[in-house]
Amino acid sequence: MDAESFQKYLKERYCDQINWYDAKSLQNQKRYRRFQWGLIIFSAITPVLITLDWRLPAHAILGWAPIVTSVLVAIMTAGLKTFGYQENWINYRTTCETLKKEIQFYEASVGEYSGANDREALFVERVENLISRENTLWLSTRKEQTKKQDANQGNE
């Protein structure tokens, strides 16, 4: 692989993929943490609201609060399970960091790069294999989630 093609690959594919995985990892981390904090807060406040409920008149709007918080806990729990924010966060971060590590191996000429005839071609091959592996993992995770959801719906 010539130097110009390799630089183009680094700029247009490699760096782009690192940026994508980094952004998606952060996005999923933020969503996961928001859902988790919501679950913690609503789960903790629901028993308190139930306890307070007996002191309120039957028509008080706060009488609905435990029901609302319970429903929110159920929705958020299902959302976490359905959308797999934690799994995506970890998978995307792992792929991002593995891609970052690959350029270090290439630049230091260590591992498979130390004896390679065409280090640039080897780099491209290894990077594409990493990306392909993550895509395959993502697809298999989605299929597994779909199977579980279908099985759960069949049990209802």
Kindly list the distances between the CA atom of residue 121 and the CA atoms of 6, 90, 105, in Å, as whole numbers in the listed order. 8, 28, 14
What integer pLDDT is reported at residue 65 of this predicted model? Answer: 85
What integer pLDDT is reported at residue 151 of this predicted model? Answer: 74
- Tens-digit pLDDT profile for the chain (156 aa)? 888 999 999 999 999 999 999 999 999 999 999 999 999 999 999 998 888 756 666 667 777 888 999 999 999 999 998 898 999 999 999 999 999 999 999 999 999 999 899 999 999 999 999 999 888 877 777 777 777 767 777 765
Q: How many CA atoms lie within 13 A of 54 on its CB side?
A: 4
Rounded distance, CA 1 to CA 124, Å?
10
What integer pLDDT is reported at residue 53 of this predicted model? Answer: 59
Phi then psi for residue 55, to 5 deg, are: -90, -10
Q: What is the pTM of this model?
A: 0.79
